[in-house]
Amino acid sequence: MKTIYEIQQFLKKFGTIIYIGDRVSDLELMESELRELFHSQLIETRDYQTALLLLRHEIQLEKEKNANRKR
């Protein structure tokens, strides 16, 4: 997985579609769903780690972008 879109498509395979309307909340919920899938041993460690890294990076970028808008 290399993009957020690919993570969304991956989650769809498990019947999970996430859209709250707030980008950071969407990403955090995706992270939570991935964690649940991993702890349930439904996904591989490599997929989990890759997706988690990508999501956390994107969350950080979004939070920085939001902080810059408020200035």
Kindly report the average pLDDT of the chain as a whole number: 95
User: Domain boundaries in the chain?
Assistant: 4-70
Q: Is the pTM higher than 0.85?
A: yes
19-45 pLDDT, tens digit each: 999 999 999 999 999 999 999 999 999
Give dist(CA 21, CA 32) in Å, integer: 17
- For 4-70, CATH gives 1.10.287.760
